[in-house]
Structure 1
Amino acid sequence: MPVVPRRDLESLPKYIPGRTVRGAIKLASNEISDGPLPSVVETISRLTPTVNRYPDGDSQVLRERLVRDLDVDVAQIAIGCGSVALLQQLVQALCSPGDEVLFAWRSFESYPIVTQVAHAVSVTVPLSEGHGLDLDAMLAGITPRTKMIFICNPNNPTGTAVYRDELARFIDAVPENVLVVLDEAYKEFVTDANVPDGVQFVRARSNVAVLRTFSKAYGLAGLRIGYAIASEVVCEALRQVCITFSVNAIAQVAAIASLDAGDEMFERCRSITVERDRVRDSLIAMGYEVPPSQANFVWLPLAQRATVFTDYMLDRKLIVRPFVGEGIRVTVGAAEENDLFLAAAREFLGVARPLSVKSCASIE
């Protein structure tokens, strides 16, 4: 009898990456346009002759460097191949078959995938009318089988964010045996002071974990490295299920160099958020509905027009990220890239001048 994969793999949700087309402008994957900072590129170049050696399996030097910024114990930090790998490790380490993982939907595409891979059960809660997380509905969705809750803040793909007071009330109401995972992949792009730094909750509660990544703001998506901040017990469990030497040596050193160039990185983030707000304001002036974003992308809830909008953009060598039947996520690129997208978005509506604000439902 031939080797047969798990039967449930046929029903496993598929992660759909942003497309890459030669000669096109890619605004689909939330990458930053500029790449790693120059000092980081130099550090990477110096290290390439040493890749014949295995990396530090515990990423100890990087963890000690992160302690300086996070004000937690080194034992409360775990390193992984991007925050998505740490998501899967969390489910593998803490969930047994049949345990429930609760999250909003739509949210990060990998949530149902990592949950099912670990034989846990996804429980989804619809977003609010404003395209944000409905924390009250999520609380109501907790059952005796709930083991973990994913809170994407800011939320991917809508860009909406949960504020400090409402998140604090939510965490206080969650049972102590349920881990609240604050996925903060876009934390560096947050400009609203009411959006909290999740580490404050880790310091106060043993059932909160924060995930962050070097893929977005730091421009290291191709090196795959991120980190978790959590209790010592949770971080030890993460390290137990981590594939040995999976976080490569260049990624570790590049992450340290990126942290050391933090001021330069945050200045670049500020320029991106200025462009983000300009793009959103321009789209609203055209008549699109665009919820407030605290990430490096904007969300257009175009519903059934998502596919035709995507095709229209692709014909103009612009790649955006469609969610069929729901909407479009558009990464904020360089100013000239954003200008080309805005011009195409105006053409899509068939207008030559800004219109009064109206909902997408009225243009369908």
Structure 2
Amino acid sequence: METAEIRPARSQARSLPSLPEISSEVPASLQRANTRSQILARLVLAAEAHGLKLPGGPFAQVNDVLTQQWAQYCDAVSPELGRLLLGEPEILVSDDLLDVVINARPDINTFFMKAVVETLEKVAAGLGWFVVSVLQSARGSGFAFYDLTVVSYHLESRFWDLDEFTDECYASHLLMEEGDREYGDDSKPTEDDMARLREQYQFWPSQILEAAGGHDVLLGGVVAAKDSKKPRVAPMKPSAVHKWIKANSDHAQLECVKAALALQKHLSKKEATALIFDSGPDDTQAVGGMCFLAWEDPQMVWESANHAEEYAYNGGDVMEAVARKTLQLDKELTDGDLSQLVVELKAYINGWHLFERLMSHFPQQE
């Protein structure tokens, strides 16, 4: 926050009172504050040009106008926006950056995939995995959430070069790391080794695959297809999903499939993915998610998310956010830049609503 520093001047004569002297930094401070207000005002007008109505006043500050303007838009998209998949939009202007942030919130909801995917797979092969592929696309498009890929993220340094995704192979690598055996030693660990290591280390391959229902595709590529406990099924293509919808207009799962297809179509637009977390010039790391998503048992997802967050906090600068777009102010910000930012934020909010529509069909932790 910019402040005006006031300090007493040196008295020139003992008979005269000492008058306050305004710091030389004040004019520059006021200029910066004025510049920030101008940027926010221009953003308000850019949003109005894209259909966001100006709110009724009076308002003391321009950022209050901007906040209310976007709150109106969110409410118009859905009065329930952000209640199922948690997040908090914020627009910030500093001396150096214009920041659009979707802040993470605590106490996020936990959802389960198994019932939805298995039900849809019984209807048509690949239909359930189409829904999963849409969820995975959303996670990589600025709608961050915690699922079993967080296990992969946390343990990739150990798992990436496993010959087989098995407990024995993992134990062999741990023994090599501890210096108890030579690298390249292919002999199986003893039962005593296995028992000791299980007490020391978490997240064994068998446990991870069990948490994924045997479906390696849920682990984000850490497991080779040959190690999967379940055969992989290719996701149905969007064109085939569209045909299925037309042919099954009264099916019990119709609305879930329609919601998935609508989100997939939205995410195919360039502007819909513009708020993928931007680390910015300060190389900030994101922490947080809109929800937890487990196959059936959420315990491993919860634990892995906790470990990942601790690792991030210990590693440097972090921001509790799921999405972020930054515009640097070291060069003049054009009206086109602000217009594009409005388009991208509108697309994000619309995608958020579509994502919530889809997740409303998934069982939720009470």
Identify the structure with the greater strand proportion: 1
TM-score class, shorter-chain normalisation, is under 0.3
Larger Rg: 2
Q: Which has the higher contact order (CA 8 A, sep 6+)?
A: 2
> TM-score, normalising length from structure 1?
0.24
Identify the structure with the greater helix proportion: 2
